[in-house]
Structure 1
Amino acid sequence: MSTLDNTSLQLPKENPEAEDFLPLLGTDYIELYVGNAKQAAHYYMAAWGFQPLAYAGLETGLKDRVSYVLQQGKIRLVLTSPLKPGGEINKHIDAHGDGVKVIALWVDDAAKSYKETVDRGAKAYLAPKTIGDNEGEVVLSGIHTYGETVHIFVERKNYKGAFMPGYQVWNPFYRPSDVGLKYVDHIVGNVGWNEMNKWCEFYAKVMGFAQLVSFDDKDISTEYTALMSKVMSNGNGRIKFPINEPADGRKKSQIEEYIEFYNGAGVQHMALATDNIIETVTSLKNRGVEFLTVPSSYYDDVLDRVGHIDEDLLPLRELGILIDRDDEGYLLQIFTKPILDRPTMFIEIIQRKGAKSFGKGNFKALFEAIEREQKTRGTL
């Protein structure tokens, strides 16, 4: 059975300004359309420690696509590739390269979630439908969001299987150990010029979210580039969606680079949480995952800025892990280089020690590191 608890929950409200009329129980899965799902699955297993969970393809009666489902902690990835030319998946991959198509949200009532959001102005993607097998049934529905990204609402309280009907258990011999990833902390979307407020208003009006924090070009800027960002959150705080847009700068920002290569708005990165970032990042680096680096001088005065932390500074310095503090505590974070051939999606590893913010104190060092990578690509 899935490690996500299928019990209906009344979760405490963390973001009091959010209406939370759905409500959302968590991130159910993230589906990427990829050029070669079999090889992508091997990458996320070998490099990232995801465990094989379920499979759908020719052997399960599908004729047009194949999907591999991987899980680590409460994080589920679905990797989907087309089996024939033409069609939606090929079109998506041709336009965007590998990328996130679906951010699926775990709900108690998929039909109600669909009605609430469509009635409030969401563009329908999938009318409520029930699918079943001998393990029970799952109800699905969906709406469009920024770019070609969609939200699927997943109601699985009456399902006991590994993933959902239409999939079979995937149990290969190769099962590398995990790296300690626990859950999706937040998912960041990049949108075009002057579109940030539009999509923040969408999440507020259509989904009952409220703004948690905002950053302007004074917060997120370097000598050359800038961007704007607002973080939208649902009431219980389990779903956090920062939305970025470009801001005027002397050179091409990372958001502009993303939009150019992704060919529009889309998911920029997933932030995955761990309880021990030193162990997790050490494992990832040993498996070949490449991270952005900051100058060693970053660590010379970092403790003057953030105060006492429980961890030794030396391994944080050696691994390039960044530190920031807010009124609630501190956090540790690090960002990979793009994990795809196009300079689009990357992954953040985050460990929260009480902090509920997003590392504002690290923005300058982080963005200068990204600019160094952009310079090597000739896209700055």
Structure 2
Amino acid sequence: MNIGAVDHVELYVGDAQQSAFYLCTAFGFRVRGQAGPETGRADSRSLLLRQGGIDIVLTSALTPDHPAAQYVSRHGDGVAGIAFEVTDAAKAFETAVERGATAVEEPVVHSRSGTEVVTATVLGFGDVAHRFVQRTGDRDDFLPGTMDIFAADPDESARLLHTVDHAAICLPAGELGPTVAFYEKVFGFSQIFEEFIEVGEQAMDSKVVQSPSGKVTFTLIEPVTGRQPGQIDTFLARHGGAGVQHLALLTDDIVTTVPAMEERGVTFLETPGAYYDELSQRLDEPDLRMEDLRRTNVLVDQDHWGQVFQIFTQSMHVRKTFFWEVIDRHGARTFGSGNIKALYEAVAREKAMA
């Protein structure tokens, strides 16, 4: 199937312009294109946001029968599609359907002035679809003939983020194994990591699948039944089933990026001082200065290959489900899941001392 990187991520939202304003103001994205009635799309409006190699499409319904209206009604604003770069979209679509994927949209050719984009879509998990995207010509012409493209912002100095690192996906209990098998069979992904995570009386299972290119990574999580309900149960109840809990965006310098985003209005989760007091007992010396980690509330973990630094935003979602992660990799290939337990225990200790 030859899946490359994430081509783009599409969010269905109640108000694309309002969502774009927040992501541009706070995260540093720029609006690069639009589609709607003026471009021949009568039932919806989409805005293309870009920063570095990250393309985000925000789509709002203009009619009640558009899929975005139905999605937002069920789940609220959230990720509805994760698109894959491929060399042959029609062939990838045919192969995926043969392997058991549900077809959503047959191959469609979009063309203009020597640029051609072929797209085709299948269903992934829950209500989230995967679009295969085959591009020939000018990549800046995102969807030729359907989307108008604006001139690039000449000011690149504000770029804070550059790649989609991974998506974290919450699944109902019992769906983790079948979902891993689905991605292995249909898309040729491989499982690269797994962990059983206990946080007090709560527990969850996590497995990570990745494309052969190593550029598309999904962290899949399900709650463990028979334990106290936790954050995964809360997400599933409020979201209304399986969905993307957060998207992780890669930065090259997290201790610079985080304060810059805070100045723009992003609110990150705070980390108790006890977390850093206990850090040396479970990790090697961090690559970044401890005082910088404390100052920015950045978490750190490590695997066999290196260290990973990460921080999560507070959810701006009305249901408090979807949020963002900023991540900085210093060689690490996994996802700092040890931070979940360490942070939970640090908070408990700090509360006990208060």
Using structure 2 for the length normalisation, give the TM-score: 0.93
The correspondence for 2:111, drawn from 124, 129, 132, is: 132
1:198 match: secondary structure? helix
- CA 1:193/1:293 → structure 2, altered by over 3 Å: closer, same or farther? same
Q: What is the deviation of 1:360?
A: 2.9
Q: What is the deviation of 1:174?
A: 12
Q: Which residue number in structure 2 is paired with residue 235 of structure 1?
A: 212
- Tell me whether 1:97 sits opposite 2:76 in the alignment: yes
Q: Which moved more, 1:266-275 or 1:156-165?
A: 156-165
Q: What is the deviation of 1:227?
A: 1.1
Contact 2:32 2:152 in 1 (8 A): no
List runs of 5+ in structure 2 lacking aligned partners: 349-354
Which letter maps to 1:270? Answer: L
**CA distance in structure 1 between the partners assigned to 2:169 and 2:186 by the alignment:** 17
- CA 1:34/1:135 → structure 2, altered by over 3 Å: closer, same or farther? farther
Q: Which residue number in structure 2 is paired with residue 116 of structure 1?
A: 95
Q: Which residue number in structure 2 is paired with residue 353 of structure 1?
A: 330
- CA 1:368/1:247 → structure 2, altered by over 3 Å: closer, same or farther? farther
Q: What is the deviation of 1:173?
A: 9.0
**CA distance in structure 1 between the partners assigned to 2:296 and 2:62 by the alignment:** 40
Q: What is the deviation of 1:171?
A: 5.0
Q: Which residue number in structure 2 is paired with residue 363 of structure 1?
A: 340
- CA 1:118/1:356 → structure 2, altered by over 3 Å: closer, same or farther? same
Q: Which residue number in structure 2 is paired with residue 47 of structure 1?
A: 26
2:246 match: secondary structure? strand
Q: Which residue number in structure 1 is paired with residue 148 of structure 2?
A: 168
- Tell me whether 1:197 sits opposite 2:177 in the alignment: yes
Matches within 5 A, 1:1-380: 22-165=1-144, 166-170=146-150, 178-216=158-196, 220-248=197-225, 250-366=227-343
Contact 1:179 1:283 in 2 (8 A): no
- Give per-residue Cα distances to partners, 1:151-189, cap 9 Å, x unaligned: 000001244543111111235999896352010111111
- Give per-residue Cα distances to partners, 1:275-322, cap 9 Å, x unaligned: 000111111111221112221011113134322233211121121100
Q: Which residue number in structure 2 is paired with residue 377 of structure 1?
A: none
Contact 1:30 1:78 in 2 (8 A): yes
**CA distance in structure 2 between the partners assigned to 1:249 and 1:46 by the alignment:** 43
List runs of 5+ in structure 1 lacking aligned partners: 1-21, 372-380
- CA 1:194/1:369 → structure 2, altered by over 3 Å: closer, same or farther? farther
- Give per-residue Cα distances to partners, 1:36-90, cap 9 Å, x unaligned: 0011111100011011211111222221110000011111100000122333221
Which letter maps to 1:148? Answer: D
Contact 1:35 1:81 in 2 (8 A): yes
**CA distance in structure 2 between the partners assigned to 1:174 and 1:37 by the alignment:** 24
Contact 1:108 1:157 in 2 (8 A): no
Which letter maps to 2:112? Answer: D
Using structure 1 for the length normalisation, give the TM-score: 0.86
**CA distance in structure 2 between the partners assigned to 1:176 and 1:300 by the alignment:** 38
Contact 2:275 2:346 in 1 (8 A): no
RMSD over aligned Cα, in angstroms? 2.1
Contact 2:44 2:66 in 1 (8 A): no
Contact 1:138 1:159 in 2 (8 A): no
Structure ranking higher on relative contact order (CA contacts 8 Å, 6+ apart): 1
Contact 1:73 1:182 in 2 (8 A): yes
Contact 1:179 1:284 in 2 (8 A): no
Q: What is the deviation of 1:274?
A: 0.5
- CA 1:270/1:34 → structure 2, altered by over 3 Å: closer, same or farther? same
Q: Which residue number in structure 1 is paired with residue 352 of structure 2?
A: none
**CA distance in structure 2 between the partners assigned to 1:267 and 1:249 by the alignment:** 24
Q: Work out the number of aligned pairs and report it.
A: 347
